[in-house]
Amino acid sequence: MRTNITLAALLVFCASAAWGRTDARSELGRPDLEKISAATTDESSPYYYPRLLRAFMANDTTMSAEEFQYFYYGTLFQEDYDPYRASPNPALLEELTPIYAKERRSRADREKMLDYAMQVLNDNPVDLRQLTNRIYVYEQNAKFDLAKIWQYKLNHLLLVIAASGTGSDAENAWTVVYPQQEYDFLNLSGITATGQHFEPPHYDYIMVEQRNDSDCEGYFFNIGEMLKQYFLKHPGELQTMRNRSQEQE
């Protein structure tokens, strides 16, 4: 399933020199997470997360690039944030597995896909995969105005991630708010991930399929804030990890 993500595809390919010249990067740049945390949790701020959430969920295209950046990274600082959150409906997800694998899907199949996408997005509004599925169903059902609106939102979330770095090394790693989005971000841009390993202290390195000798071998993602927020909510797991590390030394 492919949606028309022209803007994101142009931005994500491995041309490190071009990254520094993109309008998106110069406008947004690397996110100031401390500033975003303060603004998205301050009721008096125009970037207060519930306010941005209402704007994002509306069927319009009024949000600015900066609002998308605050909304996306503001996700990290919400009380219910969990980077490893489970599916809100695992039974429906299991039912959808063979449907996702089909080349052609019936209207009933698409309605199940949309039902699940809406459930997930109500739980996690920045789920890139289910945003893609939502757009796909709208397009297949000839609801082109809705498809364009949600394509705009998806493109801008991808643009926010793209503007956070180049992915070329740890210092310029991209920043995402959920681990699965490392793969979704690359896959939606036509890049196939082939493997992953952790690079201390807080980076994921995603290896990718090379189509020619000039292609990048892989990309770096900064998961430092993601891990920090996770362990703040699960301090027992941090202690367990430290104990295991000490045992291995």
Residue in the structure block whose two tokens are 């990254």: 19
Per the document, the length of the chain is 249
In order, the DSSP letters of 67-80 are HHHHHHHHGGGSTT
Please, are residues 74 and 54 in contact by the beta-carbon 8 Å criterion?
Answer: no
Cis, peptide link before residue 125, omega less than 30° from 0: no
Q: Is the dihedral of CA 70, 176, 24, 200 positive or negative?
A: positive
Model pLDDT, residue 162: 94
Q: What is the dihedral of CA 226, 229, 233, 236, to 10 degrees?
A: 70
Model pLDDT, residue 216: 85
For 214-231, how does the pLDDT look when each residue is reduced to its tens digit (9 = 90+)? 678 999 999 999 999 999
In a domain, 55, yes or no: yes
* Spacing of C-alpha 51 from chain mean position: 20
Q: Whole domain around residue 68: which residue ranges? A: 6-85+124-166
Please, are residues 131 and 153 in contact by the beta-carbon 8 Å criterion?
Answer: yes
For 96-153, how does the pLDDT look when each residue is reduced to its tens digit (9 = 90+)? 999 999 999 999 999 999 999 999 999 999 999 999 999 999 999 999 999 999 999 9
In a domain, 65, yes or no: yes
In a domain, 27, yes or no: yes
The larger pLDDT score, comparing residue 244 to residue 54, is at 54
Please, are residues 124 and 179 in contact by the beta-carbon 8 Å criterion?
Answer: no
The secondary structure of 170-217, three-state, reads HHHCEECCCCHHHHHHHHCCCCCEEEEEEECCCEEEEEECCCCCCCCC
Domains in the chain: how many in total? 1
Residue 193 — φ and ψ, nearest 5°?
-80, 140
Closest-CA residue to 86 (of 166, 180, 150, 215): 180
Please, are residues 121 and 130 in contact by the beta-carbon 8 Å criterion?
Answer: yes
Model pLDDT, residue 244: 52
Q: Read off the pLDDT of each residue in 176-200 and give the average, rounded to a whole number.
A: 94
In a domain, 90, yes or no: no
In a domain, 40, yes or no: yes
In a domain, 223, yes or no: no
* 116, two tokens: 């699940």
The one-character DSSP state at 51 is H
